[in-house]
Amino acid sequence: MSDIFPKWTNRLPVWLIIGAVLVTGVSVAGVTYYFTNKYTNVGYQPVQPVPFSHTIHSGQLGIDCRYCHNGVEKSWYSNVPASSTCMNCHNQVLKDDPKLTLVRNSYSNNVPIAWTQIHKTPDYVYFNHSVHVNRGVSCVHCHGQVNKMDEVRHDKPLSMSFCLDCHRNPAEKIRPPEQVYNLDWKAPPGFAQRDGAKFVHDWKVNASQNCSACHR
């Protein structure tokens, strides 16, 4: 009596088990890489050429973010200040401090300081700083409590899901315009449902969830 099934079907259970193991392994590896801090760079804190402390400048002295990052309200990117901005103060304050030698040389020789970039969106992502800060989205939502960082670190994942969480419910993140650069401001109870929702309506905030909003 001939076999009902071909002989190769005897190996089918083994192939199915191997296939299941491979799929599971690839899935776990993908989730581990793409959905953890290693991929999103959270915690990245490089040593910069000049030990600039945001805790002192922004936290203790209360210098507004826009004094150094003066393009943030007008441009799609937030500029790193030139050494001339630093020298506006440090031509008098700590003018001979050895920690500022690189800043003084940069200013005198008109050579930019080679800062290490910390926050960077992929090339396939379009993000406009000015659109967000001019509609009540504070620096702290994407960059964390920078005013309490001696050395700036990559504090938020800045992943697609991170952005979509805000786009799906912008009233939760929007704040009054005068509080955008106050990194210590906390929304009072019921603010999102009351004032946040009103801002979204009055400012005509269109937090699109369409792919083309960020991928152009």
* 138-175 pLDDT, tens digit each: 999 999 999 999 999 999 999 999 999 999 999 999 99
| Mean pLDDT split into 10-residue runs, the chain, 216 residues | 65 78 70 56 93 96 96 93 96 95 97 94 92 96 96 94 95 96 96 95 94 92
130 backbone dihedrals φ, ψ, rounded to 5°: -60, -40
pTM: 0.79
Is the separation of the CB atoms in 103 and 82 below 8 Å?
no
Q: What pLDDT sits at residue 32?
A: 55
Q: How many beta carbons lie within 10 A of that of residue 199, not counting itself?
A: 20
Return the percentage of the chain with pLDDT > 90, whole number. Answer: 78
Axis-axis angle for helices 101-109, 83-90 (nearest 10): 120
Q: What pLDDT sits at residue 46?
A: 94
Q: What pLDDT sits at residue 1?
A: 47
CA–CA distance, 202 with 196 (Å, rounded to integer): 10
Domain ranges of the chain: 121-214
Q: Which of 83, 56, 32 is nearest to 148 (CA)?
A: 56
Q: What pLDDT sits at residue 11?
A: 74
